[in-house]
Structure 1
Amino acid sequence: MKISAKALKMTGIFRCSILFATLLCSRTDAQKVSPVKNQPVFTQFSYQGKDRIYQEHPLKPGEFYTPILQGCYPDPSITRKGNDYYLVNSSFSMVPGVPIFHSNDLVNWKQIGHVLDRPSQLKVENAGISAGIYAPDIKYNPYNNTFYMITTQIAGGIGNMVVKTQDPAKGWSDPIKLKFDGIDPALFFDDNGKAYLVHNDAPPKGQELYNGHRVIKLWEYDLAKDEVIPGSDKIIVNGGVDITQKPIWIEGPHLYKKNGRYYLMCAEGGTGGWHSEVIFVSDSPKGPFIPANNNPILTQRYFPKDRANKVDWAGHADLVEGPGGKYYGVFLGVRPNDKNRVNTGRETFMLPVDWSGEFPVFENGLVPLKPAAKMPAGTTNFNGQNGFLPNGNFSFTDDLTAAKLDFRWIGVRGARENFITGTKEGVRITPFPVTIKATTPTSTLFCRQQHASFEAAVSLKYLPQSEKELAGIVCYQKESFNYVFGITRKGNDLYIVLERTQNGKSTVLGSEKLGAGALRLKVAAEGDAYSFSYALDGQNFINLGGTVSGDILSTDIAGGFTGALIGLYATAANDILIP
């Protein structure tokens, strides 16, 4: 999900990230300690989406659901090589970084891995949850048969960087640092073999006219050296579509060529309720770029806030030519819950694009977005079958015994391989001596919350030996906003406990004494109403703590740019005090 400079300044993340860059080390304290012998085993994980919109809008023939990637998959970028389409997303401080997906038809997608899957590529060990990797751009260059992924890594002192490969499924190079300021870089390869780079930047020093005034810069790019050509930078958009109207946060640029002309598409208005997508045209990649008369070409900002089945914040888009020459666009949007809060984060949507005229326009992108769109002609929607990703109210189960876990399982700030061990019984987690409130890697295996209403459950085999040991489920927006639901010890007794942490202040909402034995934990949500329960027989669940609000799992309350995560958690430094 594209992080606007506005949002960065509002939250202070940009400044904090610079401090993080000076504080990073190659290994965290949690990774240096000796392994804890008492390790919980998690198995039989299940997840079920229960959103009403999918119950009320079953797919019709020729349709696919959008968002195509539900949950925190923001800032999509897409490229094509022949009949192979590749899509990437922002990943912030999630590890591995930059999930990458493949499709042959734009409807059926498989995740083939992550672009940044090695420590040498990703330096987010001490980064804030909303620092790290912003707005990746993926482009295929047919002139050297190479894929490029360029992004801004706000961590580790890296900044703007590019990695490349000739096969996205077989790994990517180490980062090449790029010497320019600003964020949101994107590459463009012209049909004469020349390469250019566009990005968001601040206006020249002393020329900022108002808060939110940004510019789009273009550089010539040296493909042989993988660097911008010094002195070639030029401002090609100042402010936005009409600077007299003081447009804010022009960003997320992408450059295209069609019928001999150059099109520059950008996000404008910030990543919140005024978000939109705008388009410019020029006879040269260096401009001047003239805005379309019908801007914006995509937005949801003009509609009633209380509309049913609301999709909001649409923007930060990228275009690709699809089957039969028909264009499609991917973009981010959010689906607020019943309290108008954003828990699932910025998701990846897709719409057909009408480019029969001079400028592209997202089809039905200027009316309230619907849950389904028309598929490319001749396409079959497998929707979760044949190994493809599911959409709508999907469910999945994972016994967590596979030698290689599903790509949906991730770490935050640290690789999952640092604390998990696969066994025939399930995943064994080595507890770190830090809690979920730490700003260093924790021993937590995460997946994304992908529905406003859902159930997730897992079986846990664990016998804590002290009050410092705890294992269970977390619902996590960030280190200072989360729920912990797990088993620990007080004296000679075992307890199940539920803790809520808001803005760093923790409150125990409930605890119950338990006997030793098998335990199954469940979290369920109906929009903003969350509940936590446990079963000793695997079937008859007992609620703990009543119904609680999911407010702290929303970006509205917690801030930042990520969606809520569900985690399988263990710690050797438990600080929850049983009443």
Structure 2
Amino acid sequence: MKQRQIFLSLSLLFLFSFNGVNFEATLGKGPIFSNVVYTGDDTIYKNYPLKADEFYSPILQGCYPDPAITRKGDDYYMVCSSFAMFPGVPIFHSKDLVNWTDLGGVLNNVSEFNPHDTGISQGVYAPGITYNPHNDTFYMIVTAFTGNMGNIIVKTKDPMKGWGSPIKLDFNGIDPCIFFDDNGKGYIVHNDAPDKGKELYEGHRVIKVWEYDVANDKVIPGTDKIIVDGGVDLSKKPIWIEAPHLYKKDGHYYLMCAEGGTGDNHSEVIFISDSPKGPFKPASNNPILTQRYFPQDRPEKVDWAGHADLVQGPDNKYYGVFLGIRPNDKNRVNTGRETFMLPVDWSGVFPVFENGLVPLEPKIKMPKGVTENKTGKDGFFPNGNFMFTENFTSQKLDYRWIGLRGPREKFISVTKKGLEIKPFAVNIKEVKPTSTLFYRQQHNTFSFATTIDFKPASEKDLAGIVCLQNERFNYVFGITKKGKDTYILLERTEKGVSTIMASTKIEIRKNIRLQVKANGDSYEFSYALNGTDFENLGGSVSGDILSTNVAGGFTGALVGLYATASNDAQVK
């Protein structure tokens, strides 16, 4: 990272360029954040302690939806949707399906993937990842809603060493996945609209297949074919058949898809054929995974299960990864859609998710032969209840820290005192890259605290904590100026309309400790002028605006270290 340049005046501006779009960042003294502590404390993990041969599901807590998985030998790689978060398409590695290492993001070059002007729920989503043994190559394929990219594919021989440049593919639709047959031939399946004039109802979609030119990395023109129209039973008007994956087992081809939309009616269904191009016949026991049949008021509810992918585990048994949600006490979805796992029984003709048609439980048995659950230890991704502490003493920042619409490296620098954020002249409500370092909310009951060294120079300067569902639904808890006085304030933005919930004049004599705590739907924001004695600001406020099913979109809540040189949260 370049050293900070020294200027004679703190008011001078430096222009960062995002692929031809300029955003201003002040080169004055930005806020310095240190000693960040995130603590998750959900009751369910206390009620269901792990035995020696168990692990928790979801395996990825927080906003890690739309999982896809592949295997090469003893190595497993899993990707998820990231939308406008940066880098794009988080990727994880495991040797045993239990213990996962965060490898960052596949699309990490902003000159090639640049979601700088997209809403948070755009960017990229529903990736597929496939290992092709015929040329020893991994393929990640995804739909990009930015920069006129559309459906793209990237390749690598080794996911640990990064990925090649995106290759634009010439077909429409979403949710692509690539499959390689035993003879080396390639196929792409994806969700698309019905042929023009043939849409029968709202939500009517189809699954298409293309032959894929492996040598030239493109679909073969004229080979596209609709292999599923509407879903399992068109007469019942099924909606949103999507997220297709092709598999081959015992000489048969299987097409597994999500059906019913990503909400309460979400499910996973499967079809069989003697050819990758169909015709595909639905299984008689569909759906093979869903949570839609159970009372809405059931305790410790997991819902919206679907959008799955299958892989053979280290014990040669099949396992499925899929998305689901865990609502809070007000049935709100603040942690977003998470990545779950279940064993899959494929001893018969069709696979069935074991216990996938009964209310999901929080833990499952480790694959046979896996002897140690090391989640949260030795560099493995944590799950269950855990504490994450960040002192910003390492130049290599944890991959759980992400940017929004652009790379975090554009606005952060590690100093001896902590992490300095150089604020953009952009506030959190704008559809532009923001100077905010984000962490996913991973629990319904959690606390997030940080120490901040910051003295605002004007009303345009603000720094603190932001809790964000999207650009139109968020809380800002920060320090700013009004005239010659310094204030701390809490702002709530709902449907793009902002209200100052509370504010108070403060005198900054030393670093300030900021904290947000949530207990289900109840959020509290507090500050400590001396670093230890917290004072609440604004009382208990609702987390409703941080919920997917209130704010809309596809993401989960993020909590971030925020700085702006374009503050519009003004104390009255």
Preserved contact between residue 120 and residue 174 of structure 1 (Cα < 8 Å): no
Q: Which amino acid aligns with 2:339?
A: T
Preserved contact between residue 320 and residue 344 of structure 2 (Cα < 8 Å): yes
Q: Per-residue displacement from partner, 1:345-391 (whole Å, max 9, x unpaired)?
A: 00000000000111000000000000001110121111211111111
Q: Per-residue displacement from partner, 1:476-526 (whole Å, max 9, x unpaired)?
A: 011111101011112222111111111111111111111122100000000
Preserved contact between residue 321 and residue 327 of structure 1 (Cα < 8 Å): yes
**Residue 492 of structure 1 corresponds to which residue in structure 2?**
484
**Residue 4 of structure 2 corresponds to which residue in structure 1?**
none
Does 2:533 match 1:540? yes
CA distance in 2, matches of 1:471, 1:121: 30
Deviation at 1:25, TM superposition (A): 7.3
TM-score, L = length of structure 1: 0.94
Q: Which amino acid aligns with 1:500?
A: R
Deviation at 1:414, TM superposition (A): 1.2
**Residue 59 of structure 1 corresponds to which residue in structure 2?**
50
CA distance in 2, matches of 1:383, 1:172: 26
Q: Per-residue displacement from partner, 1:268-307 (whole Å, max 9, x unpaired)?
A: 0011000000001111111111111100000000000000
Q: Which amino acid aligns with 2:45?
A: Y
CA distance in 1, matches of 2:502, 2:198: 56
Does 2:559 match 1:566? yes
Match of 2:549 among 551, 556, 561: 556
Indicate the SS of the match to 1:417. Answer: helix
Deviation at 1:469, TM superposition (A): 0.7
Preserved contact between residue 28 and residue 441 of structure 1 (Cα < 8 Å): no
Q: Which amino acid aligns with 2:193?
A: A
**Residue 162 of structure 2 corresponds to which residue in structure 1?**
171
The alignment covers a number of residue pairs equal to 554
- Of residues 244-253 and 71-80 in structure 1, the stretch that sits farther from structure 2 once superposed is 244-253
Alignment of structure 1 residues 117-156 onto 2, 5 Å: 117-156=108-147
CA distance in 2, matches of 1:280, 1:365: 18
CA distance in 2, matches of 1:223, 1:135: 22
CA distance in 1, matches of 2:21, 2:362: 43
Q: Which amino acid aligns with 1:324?
A: D
Match of 1:455 among 433, 444, 447: 447
Alignment of structure 1 residues 512-551 onto 2, 5 Å: 512-516=504-508, 517-551=510-544
**Residue 6 of structure 1 corresponds to which residue in structure 2?**
none
Q: Which has the higher helix share?
A: 1
Does 2:152 match 1:161? yes
Preserved contact between residue 463 and residue 564 of structure 2 (Cα < 8 Å): yes
CA distance in 1, matches of 2:65, 2:20: 28
Match of 1:190 among 176, 181, 194: 181
Match of 1:381 among 370, 373, 381: 373
Preserved contact between residue 383 and residue 391 of structure 1 (Cα < 8 Å): yes
Match of 1:506 among 498, 503, 519: 498
Structure 2: stretches of 5+ with no match in the other structure: 1-16
**Residue 578 of structure 1 corresponds to which residue in structure 2?**
571
**Residue 67 of structure 2 corresponds to which residue in structure 1?**
76
Alignment of structure 1 residues 254-273 onto 2, 5 Å: 254-273=245-264
Q: Which amino acid aligns with 1:238?
A: D
Q: Per-residue displacement from partner, 1:299-350 (whole Å, max 9, x unpaired)?
A: 0000000000000000000000001210000000000100001011000000
Alignment of structure 1 residues 325-364 onto 2, 5 Å: 325-364=316-355
Preserved contact between residue 26 and residue 425 of structure 2 (Cα < 8 Å): no
Preserved contact between residue 43 and residue 401 of structure 1 (Cα < 8 Å): no
The percent of aligned pairs where both chains have the same amino acid is 67
Preserved contact between residue 208 and residue 228 of structure 2 (Cα < 8 Å): yes
Q: Which amino acid aligns with 2:378?
A: N
Alignment of structure 1 residues 363-442 onto 2, 5 Å: 363-379=354-370, 380-442=372-434
Match of 1:113 among 100, 104, 115: 104
CA distance in 2, matches of 1:137, 1:562: 18
**Residue 483 of structure 1 corresponds to which residue in structure 2?**
475
TM-score, L = length of structure 2: 0.96
CA distance in 1, matches of 2:394, 2:490: 30
CA distance in 2, matches of 1:88, 1:313: 19
Indicate the SS of the match to 1:557. Answer: helix
Does 2:286 match 1:295? yes
CA distance in 1, matches of 2:243, 2:205: 11
Q: Per-residue displacement from partner, 1:134-171 (whole Å, max 9, x unpaired)?
A: 10000000000000000000111000000000010111
CA distance in 1, matches of 2:219, 2:22: 37
CA distance in 1, matches of 2:88, 2:120: 13
**Residue 9 of structure 1 corresponds to which residue in structure 2?**
none
Across the aligned residues of Structure 1 and Structure 2, the Cα RMSD in angstroms comes to: 1.1
